[in-house]
Structure 1
Amino acid sequence: MAITYYGYPKCTTCRKAKKWLDEHGVDYDEIDIKDAPPSEKQLREIIAASGLELKKFFNTSGKVYREGGLKDRLPGMSEDEQISLLASDGMLIKRPIVFDGEKATVGFREADFESVWN
């Protein structure tokens, strides 16, 4: 299955991840997460494939997260509300996300990329 890379061109972590993928010959379709964030359905698939908690998908160091007071608001929100919020603004999503339909990584840790995408 095709690999999809959701990243943001100005993000240094995304650039490192993209460089790793390129250097290891991994073919992927690139999507700018700010312009075209994953849909709620896609997010549900990515979250399930990642094995991570939903809260790991929030870009907690981002401006949108901080200005929205989400640290305090998220605990009172349902999973559906949180996923809807993520789908509404790609800058809320921790990036990059790399997903092939079965496996997913969030953020960039070289060791994770080695074990999942090599």
Structure 2
Amino acid sequence: MTITMYGIPNCDTIKKAKKWLDAENLAYEFHDYRKQGVDLQMVTTFCNALGWENVLNKRGTTFRQLSQEQKDNLNQDNAVALMVEQPAMIKRPILLVNDSYHIGFKADQYAAIFA
């Protein structure tokens, strides 16, 4: 089984997800958006697998700082461009388990993924 977690290390949800995986002795790779970067292909893959509305983090400060016009005119193309430019706008964590993508972290959700 191959597991890759995508995100930003100082994110509280990432910390909880890592702690859960460590407690279950599951080996994983961590892809740090800030150190390893984000590109158009990666974000497009996330959006195709999970839906761009699910991938876009609308709760974060980066999203809230967008103009009302930007928020009103969001579509997959400009949302993907914004996420590539501002990786903090990507909901965290995104987990790739074998060939399957999962988003967010809840202990019961992870328990089901790894059951």
Correspondence for 2:76 = 79
Deviation, structure 1 residue 110:
1.5
**Structure 1 outlier segments of 4+, above 4 Å:** none
1:32-43 to structure 2, matched below 5 A, reads: 32-43=32-43
Unaligned runs of 5+ in 1: none
Counterpart residue type for residue 104 of structure 1: Y
1:11 and 2:11 equivalent? yes
Aligned to 2:88, which of 84, 88, 91? 91
Cα pair distance change 1:35/1:90, threshold 3 Å: farther
Q: In the aligned structure 2, how far is the partner of 1:21 from the partner of 1:72?
A: 40
Does residue 110 of structure 1 match 2:107? yes
CA distance in 1, matches of 2:34, 2:113: 25
Q: Is the 8 A contact 2:60 2:89 kept in 1?
A: yes
Question: Letter of the aligned partner of 1:60 in structure 2?
Answer: K
5+ long unaligned stretches in structure 2: none
Cα distance change, pair 106–22 in 1 and its aligned pair in 2 (3 A) = same
Question: Helix, strand or coil for the counterpart of 2:21?
Answer: helix
The aligned residue for residue 57 of structure 1 is 55
Equivalent pairs, count: 115
1:55-100 Cα offsets, whole Å, 9 max, x none, are 121222211111123x652442331221121112211111111113
C-alpha spacing 1:7/1:58, structure 2 compared with 1 (3 Å): same
Give the TM-score taking structure 1 as reference length: 0.80
> TM-score, normalization: structure 2?
0.82
| Per-residue deviation, residues 43-65 of structure 1 (Å, max 9, x unmatched) | 2223333xx33112122221111
Q: Which moved more, 1:11-20 or 1:82-91?
A: 82-91
The amino acid of 1:35's aligned partner reads: K
Structure 2 contact 91–104 (Cα < 8 Å) conserved: yes
